[in-house]
Structure 1
């Protein structure tokens, strides 16, 4: 009887825990409140009208698909590179793979550039100025650390 009681308590705990996670994580459609994507930020900051929003969402979806392919290719190339660690002589192979990784980084930047260039095409003159401010502000912040700083180093 004692073994069954422990099992029933454990079962009840697991059911309650699963219920909690179902309600908190699956019960919410989309992103949790307060978490909006960069697309929503751009639409809000540029104050797009309905027509501009529709065109922007098409551009954004196309951009996301292109970038997904680029990131998948990058992951594949880096996996291939680091799988070569245990091999002996392979300087040519490493040069080839790192060149492909560099070309992929270039493609990422060019794709992002043209994404913003296409956004600019749907903007009016005032929105173009605001878009320039947003892009320049993002570029100035690019190298800065975000979040909390790293913990202090231990002195030996």
Structure 2
């Protein structure tokens, strides 16, 4: 008779532990998804705009995704290539004791590097615009600058 209450207690404890494990597992899964949603939200901010405001269809969105992936890869490669150059520019600036002429040269060289990024971004925007139909181009032209500014603001907040 004494065995049955012990069994019930053990089953109850096992059940509680099982429920606790399920809750913990679901907690980690949900939190993991939230982090992925943030990253996905950052990446898809422009694509959401293109679908909702400009009117991209599935084919256009696939083309945009392809262009965006290429652009990110190109930007990453350019950035990685410019990083050593930046270090050299700043090292030279220090070696020249931050003289006015050294500061001007460094600023000019850094500006040239930034111009590469800006040029790539503008070319990327042109590629996106070329995916648009004639009607969509009008909507794109009147709103792309708003979405780029909002995207940067949203990234700063997060």
Larger helix share, 1 or 2: 2
Q: TM-score normalised by the shorter chain: which range applies?
A: 0.5 to 0.7
Do the aligned partners of 2:93 and 2:103 also contact (CA within 8 Å) in 1? no
Q: 1:129 aligns with which of 120, 129, 138?
A: 138
- Alignment-derived partner of residue 31 in structure 1: 37
Is 1:118 equivalent to 2:127 in the alignment? Answer: yes
Superposed CA deviations along residues 1-45 of structure 1, whole A, max 9, x for unmatched, are xxxxxxxxxxxxxxxxx9899545545573249934333234322
Partner Cα distance (1:26, 1:54) in 2? 26
Q: 1:137 to 1:29 in 2, by over 3 A?
A: closer
Partner Cα distance (2:25, 2:91) in 1? 42
5 Å matches for 1:3-152? Answer: 22-23=28-29, 25-26=31-32, 30-32=36-38, 35-36=41-42, 37-44=44-51, 45-83=53-91, 87-89=95-97, 96-138=105-147, 146=153
Do the aligned partners of 2:93 and 2:106 also contact (CA within 8 Å) in 1? no
Q: TM-score by structure 1 length?
A: 0.58
Partner Cα distance (1:107, 1:85) in 2? 21
Do the aligned partners of 2:96 and 2:102 also contact (CA within 8 Å) in 1? no
Superposed CA deviations along residues 108-152 of structure 1, whole A, max 9, x for unmatched, are 11111111111111111111011111124357x58xx958xxxxx
- After the TM superposition, which of the residue ranges 119-128 and 84-93 deviates more from structure 2? 84-93
Do the aligned partners of 2:63 and 2:131 also contact (CA within 8 Å) in 1? yes
Superposed CA deviations along residues 30-68 of structure 1, whole A, max 9, x for unmatched, are 324993433323432222112211211111111111222
Partner Cα distance (2:109, 2:27) in 1? 42
Please state whether the residue corresponding to 2:36 is helix, strand or coil.
coil
Do the aligned partners of 1:120 and 1:128 also contact (CA within 8 Å) in 2? yes
Q: Which has the higher contact order (CA 8 A, sep 6+)?
A: 2
Size of the alignment, in residue pairs?
A: 127
Quick check: which has more Rg, 1 or 2?
2
Q: Where do 5+ consecutive residues of structure 2 fail to align? A: 1-23
- For the aligned residue pairs, the C-alpha RMSD in angstroms reads 3.9
Q: TM-score by structure 2 length?
A: 0.57
